[in-house]
A and B are shown apart, each in its own frame.
Chain A
């Protein structure tokens, strides 16, 4: 056991060659589908997630409808081929349901729901490949998709994981391999600009001495993610804008 615990080598590199405070490579694309109102695809390392947003549209079930806000319906699912061993069912199990709830919580905190009374927004996320940090990837993808759908939000909601390597060094954005070998993982979804934490989850207990530094690391990670997403949104907008000639007018 102890021999595997060496998540950060003597030279200060992690198993995949990153330094402790580095994110995995993030690549993203907005507007990948034309049918939904908004969609996005994100890759964080090998974790790959698709998100699609429908709405705001009329509420399907009358009981849930709210007179002063829209409801957000989220559905999380994992492709059966996304993990090493084929999954039995893509959605509806306990873990997926939990993920859906958490996603909903994150989105509720940023979407200006009171602008759309009696309506509903559907957010579907599909994990194509799971390699650690599924929830952060889903949150980030959903944020992009919501922006793509043109739904007003207060600010970006970004998520990131952090863990503790060699029991002392906080490290960012853990991969699946590190998740298995390492200690507890902290998942944080935050509003990076205002610094508010929307959701925080620990896979195991942290010692109190370690928690602040790991949390800070995770928040830094959220900020880094935000910068990357922001860049992607700007690129996307300018691409679309230049197609309509809009980009030229602003510059």
Chain B
């Protein structure tokens, strides 16, 4: 059935080793073409002889065979459904996997789509198309030879069909023509297709302007060999390039051997590097080192050709005085080791006509990109995605191509889309396959279910959630079972009953990891039928739950704990406010009210005990944006209100999580999904300790307990907000809490610092977090109501899963914040307000100000360019003084806020000082009349304003 051939490989693992691997050559590999009689028709072949490709370049209908370079460079074109019936050779497939994993994944997605008619032909194991490597033959040449061989085999094998080889490699094309193989480049191919205008935009071009002799405006890059040699000899340094956000002609590279990042300045210094690239830099001699310029330079270039304005700006950059103290190692980029080009969101800079347009990315550290498009008029109104293809020496901007349009600029949907894309949140519709896993409606509880679950429908259970919440995943009850003994139950939606391991819905949920909440929308982790209906513990309906039930005495000591699956019927779904009113209203004495009162009493004891153990109370500014339901515009921004009931629910959720964590660790010491919050290194607390010291408080950070105590002591009666601010600072010193499988760490590292508990997990929100589903499954195994499956117990798999969960959670958090920030901006559009704020940090040239009302942070610049400053900076005490006025950290100020909309890409707040008044700097307070919509105010023109325009705050960067 098969013969073998061995081939020898030389691999380098530390030292040279000879590897010998088998390579079997088979005679049972199908060509995949349905009408072929010689091969067994293979089920996996999607090739179709009805929709053959037509291209006016060739007179016949044909199948396409692709070269590796076409797939690597032109994936955007291949994803278009116009191109179908493509044969991917295994040689090519392997090379794509080896060269670029993201492209490989995208290729797989196309391959799996039956309507695209793609097929993998395993040419390297086929008896007729296998070619042994020749001596002294480069791998590339061998691959090309294999591709040609396979193509000519196909032509001989199925003579009545035609095949076209598409390759961008001129040599390969030449050799193919010599073998009578029809071939062309992808560009020619696309140009001769019908309806090609969209496709042509998506073509990636490496050879722009090769016909025109343009002046080179960048120095050349060194060859790879020269770079490697230079790095080895220590002449050159390798590092990741980070562009400056404020100055497009400046950037930094962190390299080994220098404690400070190396500064790069000017066009020659940056030499076509893009933020994130791994570059090789040459560091200048010490006497040529300069300091980073403080000036803000924006790239105002409008067209490809003119570079005069850049030259002017470079001049300006050189003229900035060198500050001796600030001198940094300086160098220039001599070559790029690896490009880290991604897809970028942005808009078209709408002032040029014709085929070529300049694309302005939303991320300011990315340069503008030149793209070729035939739909410029349409795209000018859109947010779009563009990738970079190349950056030739003669071009001022990198060349790229259009990938797709997201929607109209400024619309809520488009902005949400941008936020989701920038944070890599999977947000496509659920696929048919996923939806087919859902239970059929009407959903009924069978007798079988009733037998396997404890029936708790008679117990008075209620849920307490924020208003408008549709995914209710927790409910509570509390009842007196005997004198001095309470039964407290936490009932969590039984999502794991509906999401079975290994199904499409499970894989989708695992990859999404969490529900993402944006202002006005929610990106569900599981389809809506589950999240807001079958799993949601709605009032008055029978629902499946996973119950955690304690018996407690009146001092909230746990006497016993048990877990089981149950059927519950929530008596009422309340909001925090309603629950609070029920508790406070002494006239209400029904079961629910009594139960809530008892719960509240217990929660207070639990909380007190927790705080005594050293749990931290941290503060953050969480705001809620009230939306107009029709126009979807923000009406008001307000801080979230907190009731006693919030903390009541929280306490019991914490208790349930802790109890479950103990249980699953006990039963699964190797693979329990836990959550830990690492103790931050002491240096993280420096800003907090410093701020405390300036205010006369001694903040102890050696352990959580002391930190909590010293935060409690830091109160000043005249500034009630001070304590909250300190707590906010403390929050920022913390590390992120993460999920992990218990087998991967030492027991001491399981500690949750913020909550001050040795073990913690997430059990209580399975509708919106995937980690909870895993915990539910583990717990279900322990209760005997479910069985294990391999991946649940695999330490490696769990660890990979945790990594994804942690990443997605972090991104979801950032996305939520970005969405709030955008909507806050929207809210301020066209408003001119005086707001009260507090100084969060005192900087050398600015004050960082927090406006608690909106949870907004902004920067008030004190130093104006080219002007002498009124302020004196005291580094030791962290103060700024102007005449009699001294700014300390946490001092209250009043500022005037306005949104500067002159640049739709980067709307930013302009901030002016109102109180305390400093002559020559502050502005008078607005009278009541002024606080109207005031669009006429030309913000940009005022000379003073321009300089103190602040960056938009809270822009979270992925």
Q: Which residues of A contact B789 (CB under 8 A)?
A: 207, 209
Q: Mark B105-117, 1 if CB is under 8 A from A, else 0.
A: 0001001000000
Of A16-24, A150-158, A229-237, the one contacting chain B is A16-24
Within the assembled complex, what's the spacing in Å between the Cα atoms of A3 and B793? 20
Nearest-neighbour CB distance to chain B for A17, whole angstroms, equals 4
Assess whether A77 is interfacial by the CB under 8 Å rule: no
Is the interface on chain B under 10, 10 to 19, 20 to 34, or 35 or more residues? 20 to 34
Q: Are A175 and B120 touching (Cβ within 8 A)? A: no
Q: Mark B786-805, 1 if CB is under 8 A from A, else 0.
A: 00111101101100100000
Q: Are B4 and A207 touching (Cβ within 8 A)? A: no
Nearest-neighbour CB distance to chain A for B492, whole angstroms, equals 27
Nearest-neighbour CB distance to chain A for B103, whole angstroms, equals 13
| Contacting residues of chain B (508-559) with chain A, CB-CB under 8 angstroms | none
Q: Which residues of A contact B19 (CB under 8 A)?
A: 84
Q: Which residues of A contact B50 (CB under 8 A)?
A: none
Assess whether A243 is interfacial by the CB under 8 Å rule: no
Q: Are A16 and B23 touching (Cβ within 8 A)? A: yes
Main secondary structure on chain B at its contact with chain A?
Answer: mixed
| Contacting residues of chain B (656-704) with chain A, CB-CB under 8 angstroms | none
Within the assembled complex, what's the spacing in Å between the Cα atoms of A24 and B21? 12
Q: Are B24 and A210 touching (Cβ within 8 A)? A: no
Q: A1-B800, A46-B22, A177-B21 are in contact. Are A10 and B122 (CB under 8 A)?
A: no
Assess whether B44 is interfacial by the CB under 8 Å rule: yes
Q: Which residues of B contact A209 (CB under 8 A)?
A: 789-790
Q: A1-B800, A25-B4, A207-B788 are in contact. Are A13 and B21 (CB under 8 A)?
A: no
Within the assembled complex, what's the spacing in Å between the Cα atoms of A24 and B1? 11
Q: Which residues of A contact B2 (CB under 8 A)?
A: 17-18, 22, 25
Q: Are A175 and B17 touching (Cβ within 8 A)? A: no
Q: Are B21 and A167 touching (Cβ within 8 A)? A: no
| Contacting residues of chain B (1-58) with chain A, CB-CB under 8 angstroms | 1-4, 6, 17-26, 44
Give the one of A13, A167, A175, A210 with max B CB within 10 A: A13
Q: Which residues of A contact B951 (CB under 8 A)?
A: none
Within the assembled complex, what's the spacing in Å between the Cα atoms of A17 and B130? 12
Nearest-neighbour CB distance to chain A for B372, whole angstroms, equals 35
Q: Are B18 and A84 touching (Cβ within 8 A)? A: yes
Q: A17-B125, A24-B22, A207-B790 are in contact. Are A11 and B90 (CB under 8 A)?
A: yes
Assess whether B101 is interfacial by the CB under 8 Å rule: yes
Contact of A17 among B23, B790, B791, B800 (CB under 8 A): B23
Q: A2-B800, A10-B108, A16-B21 are in contact. Are A167 and B44 (CB under 8 A)?
A: no
Within the assembled complex, what's the spacing in Å between the Cα atoms of A3 and B4? 26
Give the one of A22, A177, A207 with max B CB within 10 A: A207
Q: A131-B20, A207-B790 are in contact. Are A17 and B108 (CB under 8 A)?
A: no
Q: Which residues of A contact B21 (CB under 8 A)?
A: 15-16, 46, 175, 177
Q: Are B101 and A11 touching (Cβ within 8 A)? A: no
Nearest-neighbour CB distance to chain B for A194, whole angstroms, equals 28
Q: Which residues of A contact B90 (CB under 8 A)?
A: 11
Q: A3-B101, A210-B790 are in contact. Are A13 and B6 (CB under 8 A)?
A: no
Q: Which residues of A contact B790 (CB under 8 A)?
A: 167, 207, 209-210
Within the assembled complex, what's the spacing in Å between the Cα atoms of A3 and B98? 11
Q: Which residues of A contact B800 (CB under 8 A)?
A: 1-2
Q: Are B24 and A16 touching (Cβ within 8 A)? A: yes
Closest to A14 in B: B24
Main secondary structure on chain A at its contact with chain B?
Answer: loop
Q: Are A10 and B20 touching (Cβ within 8 A)? A: no
Give the one of B21, B789, B794, B800 with max A CB within 10 A: B21
Q: Mark A48-91, 1 if CB is under 8 A from B, else 0.
A: 00000000000000000000000000000000000011000000
Q: Are B17 and A85 touching (Cβ within 8 A)? A: yes
Give the one of A11, A12, A85, A131 with max B CB within 10 A: A11
Assess whether A117 is interfacial by the CB under 8 Å rule: no
Assess whether A45 is interfacial by the CB under 8 Å rule: yes
Q: Which residues of A contact B6 (CB under 8 A)?
A: 46
Closest to B122 in A: A11
Within the assembled complex, what's the spacing in Å between the Cα atoms of A1 and B791? 15
Within the assembled complex, what's the spacing in Å between the Cα atoms of A153 and B20? 36
Closest to A164 in B: B790
Q: Are A84 and B101 touching (Cβ within 8 A)? A: no
Within the assembled complex, what's the spacing in Å between the Cα atoms of A3 and B102? 12
Closest to A209 in B: B790
Within the assembled complex, what's the spacing in Å between the Cα atoms of A44 and B732? 61
Within the assembled complex, what's the spacing in Å between the Cα atoms of A172 and B248? 59
Closest to A207 in B: B790
Closest to B119 in A: A11
Contact of A167 among B1, B20, B125, B791 (CB under 8 A): B791
| Contacting residues of chain A (174-197) with chain B, CB-CB under 8 angstroms | 175, 177
Q: Which residues of A contact B788 (CB under 8 A)?
A: 207
Within the assembled complex, what's the spacing in Å between the Cα atoms of A225 and B25? 21
Q: Which residues of B contact A11 (CB under 8 A)?
A: 44, 90, 120, 122
| Contacting residues of chain B (174-223) with chain A, CB-CB under 8 angstroms | none
Nearest-neighbour CB distance to chain B for A150, whole angstroms, equals 32
Q: Are B23 and A10 touching (Cβ within 8 A)? A: no
Within the assembled complex, what's the spacing in Å between the Cα atoms of A137 and B604? 69
Q: Are A16 and B108 touching (Cβ within 8 A)? A: no
| Contacting residues of chain A (1-45) with chain B, CB-CB under 8 angstroms | 1-3, 10-13, 15-18, 22, 24-25, 45
Q: Which residues of A contact B24 (CB under 8 A)?
A: 16-18, 25
Q: Are A1 and B796 touching (Cβ within 8 A)? A: yes
Q: Which residues of A contact B18 (CB under 8 A)?
A: 84
Closest to A18 in B: B24
Q: Are A207 and B793 touching (Cβ within 8 A)? A: yes
Within the assembled complex, what's the spacing in Å between the Cα atoms of A167 and B796? 12
Closest to A27 in B: B4
Q: Which residues of B contact A175 (CB under 8 A)?
A: 21-22
Closest to A12 in B: B44
Within the assembled complex, what's the spacing in Å between the Cα atoms of A186 and B23? 23
Nearest-neighbour CB distance to chain B for A55, whole angstroms, equals 35
Nearest-neighbour CB distance to chain A for B119, whole angstroms, equals 9
Within the assembled complex, what's the spacing in Å between the Cα atoms of A1 and B798? 13
Within the assembled complex, what's the spacing in Å between the Cα atoms of A100 and B794? 32
Q: Which residues of B contact A16 (CB under 8 A)?
A: 21-24
Q: Which residues of B contact A167 (CB under 8 A)?
A: 790-791, 797
Q: Which residues of A contact B125 (CB under 8 A)?
A: 13, 17
Within the assembled complex, what's the spacing in Å between the Cα atoms of A22 and B26? 12
Q: Which residues of B contact A18 (CB under 8 A)?
A: 2, 24
Contact of B20 among A15, A22, A46, A210 (CB under 8 A): A46
Q: Which residues of A contact B120 (CB under 8 A)?
A: 10-11
Q: Which residues of B contact A24 (CB under 8 A)?
A: 4, 22
Q: Which residues of A contact B101 (CB under 8 A)?
A: 3
Within the assembled complex, what's the spacing in Å between the Cα atoms of A12 and B18? 28
Within the assembled complex, what's the spacing in Å between the Cα atoms of A162 and B791? 19
Contact of B22 among A2, A10, A45, A85 (CB under 8 A): A45
Within the assembled complex, what's the spacing in Å between the Cα atoms of A160 and B500? 35
Interchain residue pairs A-B with the least CB separation, the first 9: A207-B790, A17-B24, A17-B125, A16-B22, A25-B4, A84-B17, A45-B22, A11-B120, A18-B24
19 cross-chain CB contacts under 8 A: A10-B44, A10-B108, A10-B120, A11-B44, A11-B90, A11-B120, A11-B122, A12-B44, A13-B122, A15-B21, A17-B2, A17-B23, A17-B26, A24-B22, A25-B24, A84-B18, A84-B19, A175-B22, A207-B793
Q: Which residues of A contact B (CB under 8 A)?
A: 1-3, 10-13, 15-18, 22, 24-25, 45-46, 84-85, 131, 167, 175, 177, 207, 209-210
Known: A17-B26, A167-B791, A210-B790. 11 other contacts (CB 8 A): A2-B800, A16-B22, A16-B24, A17-B22, A17-B23, A17-B124, A131-B20, A167-B790, A207-B788, A207-B790, A207-B793
